[in-house]
């Protein structure tokens, strides 16, 4: 029966099935640890011979409810929740890439991910080559080295809002025999399921639409179970792990190998686990995700069309607009809508942009995207300010760019507020 559930039903029903007399709602297991009566049972848990929770850094029943639900919604085999989106991307890569190895990534990435790849990974001996995602296949393939271990991109680049050419990227990943890791934060599985387009692993900042109400920072890694870790390049999956008495992940766990290894090695040793309370809120957020993503997408499209005609606006960038460079791809990969974030250029540049943001009354100046409340931001002076101007432009940020995360309020109220702020910005 489960197999036939559509995503709206999965969003409500997956992850927690109460037995007689149990709470109807996934409980918040606010407990660091779990009680046992047999020492042998605990030993077996530690040796991964039996499944079960024994310490909340490694796993927790509330986090598990969230993990099972998001894995089902993405169409994957397993997931691991983390304390932030950054932790999810860090672990997703570190799980298969070590010092001396290499990553190829689209240059159009969220600022924090760009910085992780450009600054922090190199300090740990992992080098990253950024490629223009619009470059042709041969050019992108030329960035690969024998030691390259993954290809990384975002479904919708933040904040460039370019749509990834999944066909090209998944073809390259297959040819180069590495997994394609996709940050699917902006579309969420309601609007796009990257595994259906050849991605192998998905990461999310759950902080954005999954939470949806700006309450909690968190992330999650989902594995499709499709990548062949036995291809010869990933001995950490096939050879004995001495930190687990010689356990071989692929042989023992099959399609679950990638997530089990991420959990028992990296979550064990580094420890960015989600708080049970936050996992509860992410699970709750998922319940209404399909409804919210519909409204976010409708409102953003209406706002984009309005801004396109506004005299104070020089350009509008929203993948749902026919004028957008990725419009055909948006129709192909995001047929239900292009999510809630758009960017535009304001006449009068950075100074007018500042005035605009300060004149908004309903739309709030907030360093955030993807929650029910509309918000606005100037990336060049905030999220991307640690990058050089060259790096900013490579990741899709121009100095006059304003990013608007369109919420689920009534569109007429939003347009009214944006219009008065635009008029004020031109004075
Ligand atoms: C916010 C964001 C992240 C980072 O997530 P945090 O939860 O803030 O750590 C990663 N990718 C994208 C696309 C984001 O928008």
Would the CB of 115 count as within 6 Å of ligand 1?
A: no
Alpha carbon distance 45, 110 (integer Å): 38
The pLDDT of residue 48: 85
As for how many domains the chain has, the answer is 2
Q: Answer yes or no: is the C-beta of 217 below 6 A from any ligand 1 atom.
A: yes
Rounded distance between C-alpha atoms, residue 234 and residue 236, angstroms: 5
355 and 270 part of one domain: no
Q: pTM for the complete prediction?
A: 0.96
Domain boundary among 277, 298, 327: 277
* Contact (CB, 8 A) for 180 and 228: no
In a domain, 283, yes or no: no
CATH code assigned at 46: 3.40.640.10
**Alpha carbon of residue 38 to chain centroid:** 40
Of 235, 252, 277, the residue that ends a domain is 277
CA-370 nearest atom, ligand 1: 15
Report pLDDT digits (tens) over 387-420.
Answer: 787 887 776 678 788 999 999 999 999 999 999 9
214 Cβ inside 6 Å of ligand 1: no
Q: Which residues are registered as beta bridge partners of 201?
A: 181, 223
The answer, yes or no, to whether residue 10 has pLDDT greater than 80, is yes
- The model's pLDDT over 126-150, given as tens digits with 9 standing for 90+, comes to 999 999 999 999 999 999 999 999 9
Strand ordering across the sheet containing 375-377: 313-317, 341-346, 401-405, 375-377, 364-365
Q: Where are the alpha helices (DSSP H) in 147-206?
A: 166-176, 188-191
Q: Tell me: do 232 and 328 sit in the same domain.
A: no
Predicted pLDDT at 245:
86
Tokens of 353: 């942009």
In a domain, 218, yes or no: yes
Q: Whose CA is nearest to atom 8 of ligand 1?
A: 85
| Ligand 1 pocket member 405 (CB < 6 A) | no
What atom of ligand 1 comes closest to residue 156's alpha carbon?
13
> Domain for residue 2, yes or no?
no
Whether the CB of 207 sits within 6 Å of ligand 1: yes
Q: What is the pLDDT of residue 2?
A: 53
Index of the ligand 1 atom closest to the CA of residue 87: 9
Per residue in 20-73, pLDDT (tens digit) is 999 999 999 999 999 999 999 988 888 888 889 999 999 999 999 999 999 999
CB 290 within 8 A of CB 8: yes
- Residue to substitute in 208, 214, 217, 369 for testing ligand 1 pocket (most ligand atoms within 8 angstroms of CB): 208
Q: Are residues 13 and 100 in the same domain?
A: yes
Contacts of residue 330, defined as CB under 8 A and 6 or more positions apart, other chains included, come to: 163, 319, 320, 324, 338
Does 219 contact ligand 1 (Cβ within 6 A)?
yes
Q: Which residues contact 155 (CB under 8 A, 6 or more apart)?
A: 163, 164, 166, 182, 183, 184, 186, 187, 192, 194, 333
- DSSP count for the chain of H helices, then E strands: 18, 12
Shared-domain flag, residues 168 and 216 = yes
Among all chains, which residue has been given the structure tokens 């240059």?
A: 107
Answer yes or no: do 162 and 229 share one domain.
Answer: yes
CA distances from 196 to 90, 136, 219, 243, 426 (A): 24, 22, 21, 35, 45
Residue 83 Cα, ligand 1 centroid: separation in angstroms?
A: 11
Same domain? 234 vs 272: yes
The neighbouring-strand residues paired with 106 are: 131
**Does residue 282 lie in a domain region?**
no
What's the confidence (pLDDT) of residue 81?
98
Binned at pLDDT 50, 70 and 90, residue 354 comes out as confident
pLDDT in tens, 220-252: 999 999 999 999 999 999 999 998 889 999 999
Question: Each residue of 146-196: pLDDT tens digit?
Answer: 999 999 999 999 878 999 999 999 999 999 999 999 999 999 999 999 999
Quick one: pLDDT at residue 3? 65
pLDDT tens-place string over residues 281-317:
999 999 999 999 999 999 999 999 999 999 999 999 9
Q: 380 pLDDT band (50/70/90 cuts)?
A: confident
Q: Which atom of ligand 1 is nearest to the CA of 218?
A: 7
In this structure, the answer to whether residues 242 and 344 fall within a common structural domain is no
Is the CB–ligand 1 distance for residue 113 below 6 Å?
A: yes
Q: Single out the residue of 165, 163, 162, 150 nearest to residue 202, CA to CA.
A: 150
**Domain final position from 277, 305, 328:** 277
Count how many Cα atoms sit within 13 Å of the Cα of residue 16 in the half-sphere of its side chain. 25
**Ligand 1 atom closest to 154 (CA):** 13
DSSP reduced 3-state for 192: coil
* Same domain assignment for residues 175 and 86: yes
Cis amide leading into 159 (omega within 30): yes
Q: Which of 81, 83, 86 to mutate to test the pocket of ligand 1 (most atoms within 8 A of CB)?
A: 86
The parent domain of residue 412 ranges over: 290-425
Average pLDDT, the chain: 95
The neighbour count for residue 294, using CB atoms within 10 Å, is 15
CA of 88 to the centre of ligand 1 (A): 9
Identify whether residues 258 and 321 lie together within a single domain.
Answer: no
Domain with 345 in it: what CATH number?
3.90.1150.10
Are 255 and 357 in the same domain?
Answer: no
Q: Does residue 285 fall inside a structural domain? A: no
Asked, for residue 1, whether it belongs to a domain, the answer is: no
The finding on whether 56 has its CB within 6 A of some atom of ligand 1 is: no
- Residue of 84, 91, 112, 162 to mutate, ligand 1, most atoms within 8 A of C-beta: 112
Query: Could you report the per-residue pLDDT of 79-134, keeping only the tens digit for each?
Result: 999 999 999 999 999 999 999 999 999 998 998 999 999 999 999 999 999 999 99
Same domain? For 223 and 367 the reply is no
200 inside domain: yes
Ligand 1 centre distance from Cα of residue 382 (Å)? 14
| Number of C-beta neighbours around residue 87 at 10 A | 26
Question: Ligand 1: which residue has its CA nearest to atom 7?
Answer: 85
Does residue 174 share a domain with residue 94?
yes
3-state secondary structure of 394: helix
Residue 113 forms part of a structural domain = yes
Question: Does residue 70 have its Cβ closer than 6 Å to ligand 1?
Answer: no
């Amino acid at each position: 029966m489960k197999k036939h559930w559509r995503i709206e039903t999965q969003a409500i029903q997956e992850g927690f099935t109460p037995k007689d007399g149990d709470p109807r709602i996934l409980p918040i297991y606010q407990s660091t640890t779990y009680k046992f009566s047999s020492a042998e049972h605990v030993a077996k848990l530690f040796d991964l011979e039996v499944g079960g929770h024994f310490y909340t850094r490694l796993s927790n029943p509330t986090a598990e409810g969230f993990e099972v639900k998001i894995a089902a919604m993405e169409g994957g085999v397993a997931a691991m929740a983390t304390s932030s989106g950054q932790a999810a991307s860090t672990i997703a890569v570190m799980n298969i890439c070590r010092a001396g190895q290499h990553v190829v990534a689209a240059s159009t990435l969220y600022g924090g991910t760009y910085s992780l790849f450009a600054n922090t990974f190199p300090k740990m001996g992992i080098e990253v080559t950024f490629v223009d995602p619009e470059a042709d296949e041969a050019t992108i393939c030329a960035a690969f080295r024998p030691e390259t271990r993954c290809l990384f991109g975002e479904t919708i680049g933040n904040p460039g809002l370019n749509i990834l050419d999944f066909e090209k990227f998944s073809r390259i990943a297959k040819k180069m025999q590495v997994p394609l890791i996709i940050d699917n934060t902006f579309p969420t599985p309601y609007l796009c399921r990257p595994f259906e387009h050849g991605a192998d692993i998905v990461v999310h900042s759950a902080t954005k639409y999954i939470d949806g109400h700006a309450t909690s920072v968190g992330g999650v890694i989902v594995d499709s179970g499709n990548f062949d870790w036995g291809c010869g390049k990933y001995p950490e999956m096939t050879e004995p792990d001495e930190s687990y008495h010689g356990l071989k992940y692929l042989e023992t766990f099959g399609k679950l190998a990638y997530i089990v290894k991420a959990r028992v090695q990296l979550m064990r040793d580094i420890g960015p686990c989600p708080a049970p309370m936050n996992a509860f809120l992410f699970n709750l957020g998922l319940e209404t995700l399909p409804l919210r993503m519909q409204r976010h997408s409708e409102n953003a499209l209406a706002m984009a069309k309005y801004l396109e005609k506004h005299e104070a606006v020089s350009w509008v960038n929203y993948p749902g607009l026919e004028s957008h460079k990725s419009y055909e791809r948006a129709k192909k990969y995001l047929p239900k809508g292009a999510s809630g974030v758009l960017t535009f250029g304001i006449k009068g540049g950075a100074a007018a942009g500042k005035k605009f943001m300060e004149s908004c009354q309903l739309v709030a100046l907030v360093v955030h995207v993807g929650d029910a409340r509309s918000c606005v931001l100037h990336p060049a002076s905030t999220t991307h300010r640690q990058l050089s101007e060259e790096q900013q432009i490579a990741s899709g940020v121009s100095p006059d760019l304003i990013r608007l995360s369109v919420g689920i309020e009534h569109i007429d109220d939003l347009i009214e507020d944006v219009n008065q702020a635009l008029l004020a910005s031109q004075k």
